[in-house]
Each structure stands twice: as C-alpha cells, then as structure tokens.
Amino acid sequence: MAGILRQMTPMSFAKREWLREFRLRIAIDWKKRARELAILTGVALFLAFLRPFGTSLDAPLWLIFGFWFVLIITGSIIGEATVWAYYKLHPEGPAWLMIIITSLITAAGVLAVMLALEFFSGGYISVGGGPLIVLYGYVLVISVAMTLLGYTLSRAFNVAGPDFAHRVDDRDAVNGFLERLPVKYRTADLWAISSEDHYLRVHTSLGSDLILMRLSDAERELASVDGLRVHRSWWVSRGGIKSARRDGGKIMLTLKSGDDVPVSRSYQDAVKDAGLAP
C-alpha cells in the first residue's frame, strides 16, 4: 500500500552508527492520511444516517456508524491493494479499467465482511434479505462511487486515494524524457540524472547514456515524477535508490546500479523530509 514504511532493520542507534548503513524508508504523509480518514469517517456517518440495504432500523446510531466505518475502512484497504496490484502488473493500464477492476474486487471483499459482521452480531445488525447477487449489486454501487471519489480527489487535490492515480502521468513524463536516449533505454526505469559539464548522464535500469541538456530543465520536466534534487549535480528518483548511509556528517545515497550519490548540505533537510535518509 501506498505510504507504508519500507522495513528498516531494528537496531540501537549506536549499532546503526557503527554499521554506518541504513535502509530506506518511504515517509508516510500523515496529514494526507488524516484527511483521508476524515473523508472516510464522513462517508461512514452519512451511510449510518441513510441506513441503506435495509440496515437494522432499531440498532443505535453509534453501532450502525461503527458497522459502516469498518466496511468503509475495509473497502479502502482492499481498494488500495487492488490499485497497487493493477499498476504493478500494468504500469500504463487505462484508468477506466482500474476503476472497474477495483470496484468489482472491493465490492466482493466488503460484502464478505458485511455478511460476517451480520453473522457474528447474531442478526442484531441486519443488511436485509434477498438473493446474494442482488446484495452484491447494491454494494457494488457504493464501491464504484467510492473508487471514483478516491480517484477524482487523488488526481485533483492529492488528498485521497493510494497515490497511484498520478502514476500514469509520471510514467508519461519519464517516457517523454527518455525519448532523448537511444531506443534501448526508452522502456527502462529512470533512476537518476547527473551533470557532466554541459551534458547530463541519465542513469536507468538498462544502463546510462549522455544527453545535451541542463539539469534544471530536466528537473522541471520531471516535476511530476517521485524524485528530487539532492545535489547541484544530481537528481534522483525514489525508485532508483537502493540504500542510504552516513559518511561522517554527510549523507550518501546508493543507486540500484551501485553508484554513490552525494547529498549536499543544502539539500539534506529535503532528503530527510522525503524519507530518503535518516
């Protein structure tokens, strides 16, 4: 899921300093997650008042709210996992297909949890009778609405959703940038860019090559990509970093290619804020 920390080997601070090597972590955007939770809570409260599917009318509001809150959170988790898997398998897959697949899978998962909650409550919380396929259709309507809401907010305001809605645009930016390289590099993952005189060395998963361009222009062109400037001569992509370590008072990043990238003092705070180094 988006925003989850990469695991960092647990050890005391002294031992970490002794080893002088750190694994990377992806920073959780807690403000964004708080906004997401507020939105999901509001949706759950709305459904608690609405009580769709014939939800028990005699149950107290707080219990119905808890029921829908669990379902909404379940749907959110299943939805994020589905979107992650979709873009993992199809990095440039169309958004409309992602929405359809995510809605179908999320509806099935939420329906299963809904029936389980009804069963374990001894029927006190009832979601109505009727054929299972009809109930699935009702849940699917809400799943489609929630998926569209998350997708729209993620693209428009970047306040909800699993951070994958913009990934197609990011890949488009990378593809456009890599068009300057020989054909064999154009399907590669972009790892970093370094300045060499009047040229830029573009580091990718398939090797590196030089292009005639200024680093500042490249940085502007790749503004939508998950990366940042770490040195006056280096821009790095988060996906291209293998590890980070401290060398005295300096931070060094290591690319997946094995190349070391220095982090200048003026960029250290930005690198730490991005979760790229301790």
Q: What digits encode the pLDDT tens for the residues 113-143?
A: 888 877 776 665 666 556 778 888 888 888 8
Confidence of residue 194 (pLDDT cuts 50, 70, 90): very high
**Mean pLDDT of the region 37-65:** 72
Q: What was the pLDDT predicted at 119? A: 76
Task: For residue 123, give the DSSP letter.
Answer: T
| Confidence at residue 124, expressed as pLDDT on a 0 to 100 scale | 56
pLDDT at 92: 62
What does pLDDT average to over the chain?
76
| Residue 91 pLDDT > 70 | no
pLDDT at 43 over 60: yes
Look at 103 and 162; give whichever has higher pLDDT: 103
Percentage with pLDDT > 70 across the chain: 74
CA distance 39 to 37: 5
Assign 56 a pLDDT band (cuts: 50, 70, 90). Answer: low
Per-residue pLDDT for 168 more than 50? no
CA angle 20, 262, 276 (to 5 degrees): 65
pTM: 0.46
Residue 264, classed as helix, strand or coil, is: coil
> Cβ neighbours of residue 180 under 8 Å, at least 6 residues apart?
202, 211, 213
pLDDT of residue 17: 35
Q: What is the mean pLDDT of residues 61-71?
A: 80
**More confident of the two residues 11 and 73:** 73
The mean pLDDT of 205-228, rounded to a whole number, is 91
More confidently predicted of 88 and 206: 206
Distances (CA, A) of 73 to 26, 69, 109: 22, 6, 11
Least confident of 25-34, 131-140, 229-238: 25-34
Does the pLDDT value for residue 41 go beyond 60?
yes
Query: What is d(CA 184, CA 209) in angstroms, rounded to the nearest whole number?
Result: 11
**pLDDT at position 154 over 70:** no
- The answer to whether the beta carbons of residues 161 and 153 sit under 8 Å apart is yes
Higher pLDDT, 28 or 225: 225
Closest CA to 144 of 132, 154, 136: 136
**Residue 32 pLDDT level (bands cut at 50, 70, 90):** low
